[in-house]
Amino acid sequence: MPALSASAPGKIILLGEHAVVHGRPAIAVPVTQVQAKAIIQANPSGERGSIQIVAPAIGLDAEYHTLEDQHPLRATIQLTLQALQLTRVPACTLRITSTIPVASGLGSGAAVAVAVIRVLSTFLGKPLNDQQVSSLAFEIEKIHHGTPSGIDNSVVTLNKPIYFLRGHPIETLQVPRRFMLVIGNTGIASPTSLTVQDVHVAWQENPNRVDAIFDEIAHNTQQARTRIETGDPDSIGPFLSRTHHLLSELGVSCNELDYLVQAALNAGASGAKLSGGGRGGNMIALVSSDKANLVIQALLEAGAASTISTIVRQHST
Ligand code: PMV
């Protein structure tokens, strides 16, 4: 049997992070320049039931049963087998590679889970549909993030821009006119679970103030949605920048993010903000195509570890 493979893209949150955990809407878009890939190959000489996981980037070469219970890869395999109502599988080797930086708001955990669930279910002759893949990946997100909203697994599974409101059916965001984002990585790994937890504590301590911030973030998200869907994406810059300030008020920015956001604006971006959990990870800037190189240059000079430019469009290629 030839090897099978599945890939899943990275993602960024355009607007609505943190507020989305507390019942407000958010917009997320795939970032196809970075990908997680899972390749599976039958291993006829192996013992039935054994799945050897090879993930060179994290130095892993182990049979999945030997990993601790809460290891995301072991959990991904176990949940997939449960969903397929299978206990014993033909011996195989599962290779995982990813170009998505970890713990930086680019959805690496969700992308690895989606790629593994897809390739394993296909290998076992029972490919799962998007809804099933996304809900299994959501269970893995809980291991990574504690109390995730579900936005990462949704956008990574669908590989399309989405408008997401917890507990509601996921809506595809209409993007009649494409637009460009530059993503700047601070190079600082920041676990989302910590910032989500801190925002939760802030909300418990001062619900009126924090709810008011969430409502303003929601307003910016709605405004941006309308403008994107009516073909005017170039006008959303101010909503991005205002949301950055609101996220700072929530305590999830840091000097490095503020510095990169300012550098992008100074170089001609029409809006910029942190993206994802914050206190590190990535920021995004809305740029016209003639400003993209200037903004990338400015971000690198301001200390960005790396940059990605990506076009947001209706369908990923
Ligand atoms: O995975 P990240 O770092 O892009 O963060 C996800 C966005 C949050 O709203 C902070 C958390 C969540 O689960 O929605």
Given a contact cutoff of 8 angstroms between Cβ atoms, the answer to whether 144 and 138 are in contact is no
Last residue of a domain, one of 136, 164, 192: 164
Residues 32 and 63 in one domain: yes
**pLDDT (0 to 100) of residue 88:** 80
Residues 16 and 146 in one domain: yes
Last residue of a domain, one of 164, 190, 214: 164
Please give the average per-residue pLDDT across 18-33, as a whole number. Answer: 97
Last residue of a domain, one of 143, 164, 185: 164
DSSP state of 290: T
pLDDT in tens, 303-314: 999 999 999 998
Given a contact cutoff of 8 angstroms between Cβ atoms, the answer to whether 49 and 88 are in contact is yes
Q: Is 152 in the active site?
A: yes
Name residue, tokens 């890869």: 73
- The number of the ligand 1 atom at minimal distance from the alpha carbon of 28 is 4
Quick check: is 195 in a domain?
yes
Residues 152 and 179 in one domain: no
Calculate how far, in angstroms, residue 108's C-alpha sits from the geometric centre of ligand 1: 12
**Whether residue 276 has its Cβ less than 6 Å from ligand 1:** yes
CATH number at residue 235: 3.30.70.890
Quick check: is 50 in a domain?
yes
Average pLDDT over the chain reads: 95
Residues 187 and 283 in one domain: yes
**pLDDT (0 to 100) of residue 2:** 85
Name which residue sits closest to atom 13 of ligand 1, judged by CA: 148
- Model pTM? 0.94
Name which residue sits closest to atom 14 of ligand 1, judged by CA: 149
Q: Which residues pair with 11 in a beta bridge?
A: 30
**pLDDT (0 to 100) of residue 93:** 97
Given a contact cutoff of 8 angstroms between Cβ atoms, the answer to whether 244 and 286 are in contact is no
**Percentage of the chain modeled with pLDDT above 70:** 99
**pLDDT band at residue 25 under the 50/70/90 scheme:** very high
Question: Is residue 182 over pLDDT 80?
Answer: yes
Q: Exactly one of 61, 69, 130, 152 is catalytic; which is it? A: 152
Quick check: is 317 in a domain?
no
pLDDT in tens, 50-107: 999 999 988 999 999 999 999 999 999 999 999 999 988 999 999 999 999 887 789 9
Helix axes 72-83, 130-145, angle to 10 degrees: 150
Calculate how far, in angstroms, residue 85's C-alpha sits from the geometric centre of ligand 1: 31
CATH number at residue 77: 3.30.230.10
Residues 238 and 279 in one domain: yes
Given a contact cutoff of 8 angstroms between Cβ atoms, the answer to whether 120 and 133 are in contact is no
| Burial of residue 100 (number of CB atoms within 10 Å: 0-12, 13-18, 19+) | buried
Q: Supply the DSSP string of 168-216, one letter for each residue.
A: S--EEPP-SS-EEEEEEE------HHHHHHHHHHHHHH-HHHHHHHHHH
**pLDDT band at residue 315 under the 50/70/90 scheme:** confident
Residues 140 and 200 in one domain: no
Calculate how far, in angstroms, residue 72's C-alpha sits from the geometric centre of ligand 1: 17
**Whether residue 72 has its Cβ less than 6 Å from ligand 1:** no
**Whether residue 237 has its Cβ less than 6 Å from ligand 1:** no
3 state SS of 136: helix
Quick check: is 170 in a domain?
no
Residue 169's CB: how many other CB atoms inside 10 A?
6
**Whether residue 27 has its Cβ less than 6 Å from ligand 1:** no
Q: Which of 17, 153, 154, 166 maximizes ligand 1 atoms within 8 Å of its Cβ, making it the mutation to test the pocket?
A: 17
Residues 240 and 276 in one domain: yes
Residues 156 and 218 in one domain: no
Count of domains for the chain: 2
Signed CA dihedral, 157, 160, 165, 169: sign only? negative
Residues 145 and 226 in one domain: no
Given a contact cutoff of 8 angstroms between Cβ atoms, the answer to whether 92 and 52 are in contact is yes
Question: Is residue 32 over pLDDT 80?
Answer: yes
**pLDDT (0 to 100) of residue 197:** 94
Which range marks the domain in which residue 199 is found?
A: 175-312
Calculate how far, in angstroms, residue 189's C-alpha sits from the geometric centre of ligand 1: 14
pLDDT in tens, 124-144: 999 999 999 999 999 999 988
CB hemisphere CA count around 43 (13 angstroms): 17
Query: 267 CB contacts (<8 Å, ≥6 apart)?
Result: 291, 294, 295, 297, 298, 299
Which parts of the chain fold into alpha helices (H)? 72-83, 108-123, 130-145, 151-158, 192-205, 207-229, 237-249, 255-266, 292-301
**Whether residue 18 has its Cβ less than 6 Å from ligand 1:** yes
Calculate how far, in angstroms, residue 32's C-alpha sits from the geometric centre of ligand 1: 18
- Measured distance CA(248)–CA(244) in Å, rounded: 6
Residue 52's CB: how many other CB atoms inside 10 A?
17
CA neighbor of 225 nearest in space, from 213, 240, 212: 240
**Whether residue 183 has its Cβ less than 6 Å from ligand 1:** no
**pLDDT band at residue 316 under the 50/70/90 scheme:** low
- The number of the ligand 1 atom at minimal distance from the alpha carbon of 19 is 9
Residues 96 and 180 in one domain: no
Residues 58 and 130 in one domain: yes
Residues 206 and 253 in one domain: yes
